């Protein structure tokens, strides 16, 4: 864990978060500055800035959780037929939070302009964080209900030894 990292602060319970899935290795939660409604981030509980520092089994686990999130987004009430999965890995690649995170962005086709616009303006918080968090909580409930109790992955068997 890193003392300054905001995602480590979330993991330690020092910052509020709207979670859709958690297991002993990872956490999936609503992006507070979503590019589109239902934007979820999946993080490892270990603090590492780059995917290069993760074990192969941890990288694979993040994508297993991401795939389960994508399925849950499609089953939820979201307008969502597809997803972008992406990782900004390093400052030159627009990584703002130096703790590995997989973006799972629900897409519905004609939403590219909306996504690009919110990418540029999402840190300008004109409606206030409280209202935003209420909206995120409603969306999260719709996603969380379709998540499996536990995502099956190689990690548990590999890393428990």
Assess 88 for contact with ligand DGP (CB under 6 A).
yes
Give the total of residues touching ligand DGP (CB under 6 A): 14
Q: Does 31 bind ligand DGP (CB under 6 A)?
A: yes
Residues 32-51 as x/- pattern, contact with ligand DGP by CB under 6 A: xx-------x----------
Report if residue 21 touches ligand DGP, rule: CB under 6 A: no
Q: Is 48 in the active site?
A: no
Judged by CB under 6 A, the stretch of 29-37, 47-55, 60-68, 147-155 that binds ligand DGP is 29-37
Q: Among residues 101, 103, 113, 146, which one is catalytic?
A: 101
How far is Cα 26 from Cα 24, in angstroms, rounded to an integer?
A: 6
Our finding on whether 29 is near ligand DGP (CB under 6 A) is yes
Using the rule CB under 6 A, is 144 a contact of ligand DGP?
Answer: no
Using CB under 6 A, list all residues that contact ligand DGP: 6, 15, 17, 29-33, 41, 88, 94-97
Active site residues: 101
């Amino acid at each position: 864990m890193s003392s300054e990292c905001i995602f480590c602060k979330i993991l330690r319970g020092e910052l509020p978060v709207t979670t859709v899935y958690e297991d002993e290795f990872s956490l999936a939660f609503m992006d507070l500055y979503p590019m589109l409604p239902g934007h979820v981030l999946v993080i490892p509980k270990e603090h590492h800035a780059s995917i290069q520092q993760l074990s192969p089994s941890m990288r694979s686990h993040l994508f297993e959780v991401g795939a389960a999130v994508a399925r849950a987004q499609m089953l939820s009430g979201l307008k969502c037929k597809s997803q972008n999965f992406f990782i900004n890995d390093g400052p030159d690649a627009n990584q703002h939070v130096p703790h590995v995170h997989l973006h799972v962005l629900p897409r519905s086709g004609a939403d590219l302009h909306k996504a690009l616009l919110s990418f540029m303006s999402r840190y300008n918080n004109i409606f206030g964080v409280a209202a935003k968090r209420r909206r995120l909580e409603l969306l999260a409930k719709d996603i969380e209900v379709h998540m499996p109790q536990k995502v099956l992955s190689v990690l548990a068997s590999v890393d428990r030894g």
